[in-house]
Chains A and B, each alone.
Chain A
Amino acid sequence: MRNRISRFLVSSAALVTILCAAVFSFLAFFMNKRSLETIREIGNIYMSGMSEQISRHFGTTMILRLSQIEALLDSFPPERQGGEELRESLTYNAKARGFEYLAFYSEDGQFEMIYGAPVHVTDPKPFLDSLNRGEKKIAVGTDAQGNNIVLLGVSSTYEMSGGLKCTALVAGLPVEYISTTLSLDVNDSLVYSHIIRKDGSFVIRSADASRDTYFERILETSYTYDGVTPEMTIEKLEAAMEAGESYSGIVQTDEGRRHIYSIPLPYSEWNLLTVMPYGALDQSVNRLGRQWSVMALGGCILIVAVLILVFAKYLKLARQQMIALDEARKEAVQAARAKSEFLSNMSHDIRTPMNAIVGMTAIATANINNQQQVQNCLRKITLSSKHLLGLINDVLDMSKIESGKMTLNVDQISLREVMDSIVNIVQPQIRSKNQQFDVVIHDITAENVYCDSVRLNQVLLNLLSNAIKFTPEKGRILISMYEEPSEISQDHVQIHIRVKDSGIGMTPEFKARIFESFVREDNARVRRTEGSGLGMTITKYIVDTMGGTIDVESEPGKGSEFHIALDLEIADIQEADMLLPDWRMLVVDDDRELCESTVSALKSIGITADWTLSGEAAVRMVDERYQRNDSYHIILLDWKLPGMDGIETARRIRERLGENVPILLISAYDWGEIEEQARGAGVSGFISKPLFKSTLFHGLKKYADMDSVPAEKESERSIDFTGRRILLAEDNELNWEVAEELLKELGLELFWAQNGRICLDMFLDSQEGYYDAILMDLRMPEMNGYEATEAIRALPRADAGLPIIAMTADAFSDDIRKCLECGMDAHVAKPIDIRELSHLLEKYIGQS
């Protein structure tokens, strides 16, 4: 295809070039010819004009001379004088008129010289005939010395010496007289003239004419020109002279072309033959022609060049277009192939769990009585179903993206909560793979921003679960977050999130394609890894939609690092002034970054902190301070430390400082597992990563009110809810009693509803505003917590909107969402944590 077009273009270019050349050559040729013709015409006109002029001049000159002779005749009539006297008079007068010869001419052609050397007529016959007829005539002759003479004869009847009457009086002039008078041979003129007789013989020859006759001259010096041979020229010239007409023609000689023009001269048998060499004219014309040709050629070349340029340009454009087209086609093919590969992968991926489900169901059916087997089957079915669901969700997300229907649901979110929840979600997976997990939060000033939390979660979850998936056991995973000023405006911050792992990494080829749809690194190592291959595409799309960027650094075998940058608008909420007393604190973590960012976050809430990287150093620093009687107020310890671990460090510090200083443990992991051990070692509390400013503030605030020993519970119990009434719906008596025991310590008055129905009834029977809040168990007989809440919210009472707080042992996010959906205000987990609950109560019903 491409070749055909190039071929077409090249051949058209060639064709146009040839056409151009041909047209211009033709024009040049034609114009040359035309100019030659024109020159010839001009020559013709000029020559004929000039020749006539000369001929007329010749005529008048001859008439003048003849009339002078006639005047002689008139002055000296033959009747009056004779003899010697006459001759003297004639001689005298003729000489006075410049004649060099004078003679009587007898009827038989004999000259009787009156003066001058004897002369001889070259061609006496016509001369004599004419004179005998009484006409005037001119002829040439020679004298005794051989000088050429022009003889002019006028008939007269003078008596000659022999007594005979003469037939004419003949006067002679040197031939030069005619040449001079007529300017036949002027050196500085291009044009010269000969006078010839009808037989071609010269009467007067000019220039270097050396032949006897002009005809000979033509025959010998000229060539065929324009199809006209010299013979033909002669023939025509002869014919014209015979007929007494003028003739115009061209002869070609060695010295160039010559224009000849012949015209009969009066009073003679002669013709004036004017010759004009074209030499100079030819030169001009040729120069003009050459210039014309050069110009034409130049023009032609220019046009051809432009044409070729245009063609080349067009060809290039066409090529580019072809290439672009080709690329587009390749892309389309690639996309189609990716899709079909994806489909075949997907159908494989979907079929695998589906096969498992079908197969396991069959096995379970066949072994319906073998409980163990059925159980085993069901467990596998459950796993496969979950996997299948994940795949389908991805595909649905992708189709949403491809149809452009994915939109962001931007709301105010807390980055701390997002990070908290993501860390919580991935912890079990990380723990099960025994991976080392770290969360580092650098100085984040804007914890509350506007973003789609669900999608942001999805992005982080995707990156983290990929990191987990592709990182072997004992590998390291790090998620870090930091903030930079945004370029968009003052109201925005640029949040950077990095997810780094020490996993299998990616090949550069794969890295380049990772964000494309339907791509999965296809090699033996990861073939077993499940997934749709859409995760990264979805991630990329979400980040793009949020107006952010995502990029990746990776090296096979070393690990990968994803970096997301998002410009987020700062949520316009007034954070309570987070300020704590001017404590001195010690932060102990083996991660230098974490230490530095924590110290900086602490500084922003008014705390001066030191940091160190190991437990041993921490113990030493605490010791030093203690000796100086300038102990740290609070110590933050990482749980996992190299060498001496957090718990051991806590134990040592506790030994030295006694009970007075709170020691808090930091960990990204669940505190439950190590709580007992930690408390045993003297750890006072726990702060979970990620360490946002607010995490630190809320974690440390409780130690603010006391001067020395932080007796937590006492401080909590200082919150006084005396006189507040709480309706508590709980079906289990023991749980109710525990709750009552705990809550009455806060001064609350509690009322027990054994289930949702009773709760609703009690609320209905009460006066408006009697209860300050309801604590609602979710799982209850008769009417569960959701139903009761909905019923209460639907009541036409002024206090139907009172705070309802759910209590549940289920921490499923579904349950929590459902709580909020059916109108509850908040949610606490069982077993009841009196601190958490009193916080919530304080928030909702406030202190009296």
Chain B
Amino acid sequence: MMSLEECYDALGGNYKAVLGRLSSERIVKKFVLKFLNDQSYVLLEQSMQDKNYEEAFRAAHTIKGVCQNLSFDRLGDSSSRLAEALRSGWTPEADALVDEVKRDYQETADAIRAFQTENGES
């Protein structure tokens, strides 16, 4: 059975840090699972498609904030760089970074889903 710590390892997060901050595994787990419901990533993809870069910046910024809260370092890092790239509108780096965020997000989401499945409805 996959532990929360293993899940963190898989998604490139810092379990110790988040545990230090949120203090109990129960709370961490609750928020990690909630991450899947967070609509920021959808918003990011949508706004990039619409070329609404202001909105995309906010979405990336929010993902960064959530990741920092949950210590999802890898996704937090790429989304942070994306946010910087979009801070004052579109820049050439943005597209490549969006791809990076997309990849990291998928990995993160996959790891959490795996953890969810294995831990079932417990």
**Contact residues of A with B, CB < 8 Å?**
371, 374-375, 378-379, 675-676, 679-680, 713, 731-735, 737-738, 741-742, 777, 779-781, 809, 830-834
Contact = CB atoms under 8 A, between A and B. Distances in A.
Interface residues of B, number: 33
A371 B68 contact: no
B52 to A, nearest CB: 11
Interface in B27-72: 27, 30-31, 34-35, 37-38, 40, 55, 57-58, 61-62, 64-66, 68-71
A809 B23 contact: no
Contacts of A734: 31, 34-35, 37-38, 66, 69-70
Given A734-B31, A734-B34, A734-B69, 12 more contacts: A378-B92, A379-B93, A675-B17, A676-B17, A732-B38, A732-B65, A732-B66, A741-B31, A742-B21, A779-B57, A779-B62, A780-B58
Contacts of A375: 92-93, 96
Contacts of A777: 65
Q: Which 3 A-B pairs have the closest CB atoms?
A: A375-B92, A831-B68, A831-B69
Contact of A832 (B31, B40, B58, B69): B69
A214 to B, nearest CB: 137
Given A378-B91, A676-B14, A734-B34, A741 B66 contact: no
A831 B40 contact: no
A374 B92 contact: yes
A781 B61 CA distance: 12
A831 B93 CA distance: 26
Given A738-B31, A741-B22, A830 B91 contact: no
A712 to B, nearest CB: 9
Contact of A779 (B27, B58, B93, B95): B58
B120 interface: no
* B interface SS class: helix
Nearest to B68: A831
B21 A371 contact: no
Contacts of A742: 21-22
7 contacts: A675-B17, A713-B23, A741-B30, A742-B22, A779-B58, A809-B65, A831-B21
Contacts of A379: 93
Contacts of B20: 679
Interface string B69-94: 11100000000100000000001110
A680 B16 contact: yes
A738 B32 CA distance: 10
A734 B93 CA distance: 28
B100 to A, nearest CB: 13
A676 B69 contact: no
A732 B21 contact: no
Contact of A738 (B16, B37, B70): B70
Given A732-B62, A831-B69, A738 B92 contact: no
Interface string B10-21: 000010110011
Q: Which of A371, A734, A741, A780: most chain B Cβ within 10 A?
A: A734
Contacts of B58: 731, 779-781
Contacts of A834: 21
B61 A738 contact: no
A809 B64 contact: yes
A732 B16 CA distance: 24
Contacts of B21: 742, 831-834
Nearest to B87: A810
B34 A737 contact: yes
B11 to A, nearest CB: 15
A735 B30 CA distance: 12
Q: Is the interface of A mostly helix, strand, loop or mixed?
A: helix
A422 B44 CA distance: 36
A699 to B, nearest CB: 17
Contact of B22 (A374, A735, A738, A809): A738
A379 B64 CA distance: 23
A116 to B, nearest CB: 162
A405 B1 CA distance: 71
Contacts of B95: 371
B92 A371 contact: yes
Nearest to A714: B23
Contacts of B38: 732-734
Contacts of B65: 732, 735, 777, 809, 830-831
A679 to B, nearest CB: 6
A831 B91 CA distance: 27
Contacts of B55: 781
Contacts of A780: 58
A696 B27 CA distance: 32
B116 to A, nearest CB: 15
A379 B94 CA distance: 12
A732 B22 contact: no
A679 B66 contact: no
A733 B68 CA distance: 14
B64 to A, nearest CB: 5
- Max chain A Cβ within 10 angstroms of own Cβ: one of B30, B35, B92: B92
B17 A737 contact: no
Nearest to B43: A781
A308 B36 CA distance: 105
A738 B22 CA distance: 8
Contacts of B93: 375, 378-379
B69 A830 contact: yes
Contacts of A731: 58, 62
A737 B31 contact: yes
A831 B23 contact: no
Contacts of B62: 731-732, 735, 779
B76 to A, nearest CB: 9
A753 to B, nearest CB: 15
Contacts of B66: 732, 734-735
Give the residue among B69, B93, B96 with the most A Cβ atoms within 10 A.
B69
A733 B58 CA distance: 14
Nearest to A373: B92
Contacts of A735: 62, 65-66, 69
A738 B55 CA distance: 23
A791 to B, nearest CB: 19
B42 to A, nearest CB: 13
Nearest to A675: B17
A378 B70 CA distance: 33
A777 B66 CA distance: 12
B91 A738 contact: no
A733 B70 CA distance: 13
A781 B54 CA distance: 10
B16 A809 contact: no
Given A779-B61, A830-B68, A676 B22 contact: no
Which of A735, A832, A834 is most buried by chain B, counting CB atoms within 10 A of its CB? A735
A379 B92 CA distance: 9
A731 B71 CA distance: 19
B50 to A, nearest CB: 14
B89 to A, nearest CB: 12
Residue in B64, B68, B70, B80 with the greatest tally of chain A CB atoms within 10 Å? B68
A777 B40 CA distance: 15
A741 B68 CA distance: 15
A809 B35 CA distance: 18
Contacts of B71: 831
A466 B34 CA distance: 49
A296 B86 CA distance: 102
A830 B70 CA distance: 11
A686 to B, nearest CB: 12
Q: Which of B21, B35, B80 has the most CB of A within 10 A?
A: B21
B16 A676 contact: yes
A781 to B, nearest CB: 7
Contacts of B57: 779
A735 B35 CA distance: 10
A830 to B, nearest CB: 5
A833 B23 CA distance: 11
Contacts of A781: 55, 58
Contacts of B17: 675-676
Contacts of B96: 371, 375
